[in-house]
Structure 1
Amino acid sequence: MGNLADVEQTASIINNAIRDLPDTFNKNKNEVSQLENEIQDLLHVIEFSSFNAHEGWKLSKQLKKARTKRRTLKNENEQIEPLLSFCKKTRNYLGELDDVIQDIHQVKKNQKNRTYRCRVLEDLQNKF
């Protein structure tokens, strides 16, 4: 089937992206903010407390984990951001897109159950 392996699946992916990307962007922003506060806590512990090498290593690992997660979320948001205004503008059409997906589903169902009735060569009808 052409370039689109499954038109219904493609339409659903578009629908989900329009619906979910703005919320994902905001959730990521909130989590980045939380992680930045966590990073500041860790940096202040390092700055103002005394610790042995093992404790320093554990603090370093916590800091790395928080910064890696923060970077992942920021990178994701950098990719989402160009789509945000499009998603916000098209959110009003989600109901219509849901209807389109249902129509595609019905067409696929009809195609699966398609039959043919011979018009002239009726003796070939039993071949179907």
Structure 2
Amino acid sequence: MSEAGALISYVDTIGEILKDVPAKFEANLRQIDHLEKETNDLIHALELLDVDEEQAAQYATDIRKNRLERRRCKDENVVLKPLYDFIKLHPKLAKEMKTCHEETKRACKLLKGRFYNPRVRTDLIEKFEKAKEAQEHG
């Protein structure tokens, strides 16, 4: 990959992070809330309903799965929180990064199509045209 291509890839990645981190963090918060309510339902079922041992064991298994998923979401948010807070502190950053991405792509396209036209040494015109064709094809 060319240096320009790598730069565009980096800018793409930054743009994806600016979009994905808040979405993932907030989705985790919603999931945590849902899981906590589900745990509450299961605990109250054990406490208040007349259930046999098999059903009680199933509720306990469900609670364990629920708590493990809740812990996974919370742990992920611990890692995402500093970046989430930074992104929220700079709400224009994602838009500015998109503009930067577009300008970077435009600059790379301009550089790729750049061609020199001799002004004085007209004997070099044909050589420069051949060089341009070779660059375009390969």
Using structure 2 for the length normalisation, give the TM-score. Answer: 0.69
Unaligned runs of at least 5 residues, structure 2: none
**Displacement of 1:36:** 0.8
What residue in structure 2 maps to residue 28 of structure 1?
A: 28
Cα distance in 2 for residues equivalent to 1:62 and 1:19: 33
Aligned to 2:6: 6
Q: Distance in 1 between matches of 2:32 and 2:76?
A: 11
> Quick one: structure 1 residues 41 and 103, their matched pair in 2 at CA, closer, same or farther if it must change by over 3 Å?
same
Are the equivalent residues in 2 in contact too, given 1:4–1:10 (CA < 8 A)?
A: no
For the residues of structure 1 that align with 2:103 and 2:18, how far apart are their CA atoms? 19
Unmatched segments (≥5 aa) in structure 1: none
Distance (Å, rounded) in 1 between the aligned partners of 2:80 and 2:70: 15
Deviation, 1:46, is 2.3
Shift of 1:115: 4.2
Give the TM-score of the pair, scaled to structure 1: 0.73
Residues 15, 98 of structure 1: 8 Å contact kept: yes
By how many angstroms is 1:58 displaced? 2.7
Q: CA deviation at 1:78?
A: 0.5
**Aligned 1:49-128 pairs, distance under 5 A:** 49-53=50-54, 55-115=55-115, 122=124, 124-125=127-128, 126=130, 128=134
**1:10-54: CA deviations, max 9, x gaps?**
22332333344334323322221210110121122223332243x
Q: Is the 8 A contact 2:4 2:108 kept in 1?
A: no
Is the alpha carbon distance of 1:4 and 1:56 closer, same or farther for their aligned partners in structure 2, counting shifts above 3 Å?
Answer: farther
Structure of larger gyration radius: 2
Looking at structure 2, the residues matched to 116 and 6 of structure 1 have their Cα atoms a distance apart, in angstroms, of 25
Judging changes above 3 Å, is the alpha-carbon distance between structure 1 residues 40 and 110 closer, same or farther for their aligned structure 2 residues?
same
Name the count of aligned residue pairs.
127
Q: Distance in 2 between matches of 1:4 and 1:112?
A: 10
Question: Could you tell me how far 1:3 is from its partner in structure 2?
Answer: 9.1
Partner of 2:15: 15
**Distance in 2 of aligned mates of 1:92 and 1:102:** 16
Q: 1:105 to 1:3 in 2, by over 3 A?
A: closer
Q: CA RMSD in A?
A: 3.0
- Tell me the amino acid that sits aligned with residue 51 of structure 1: D
SS for the counterpart of 1:91 is coil
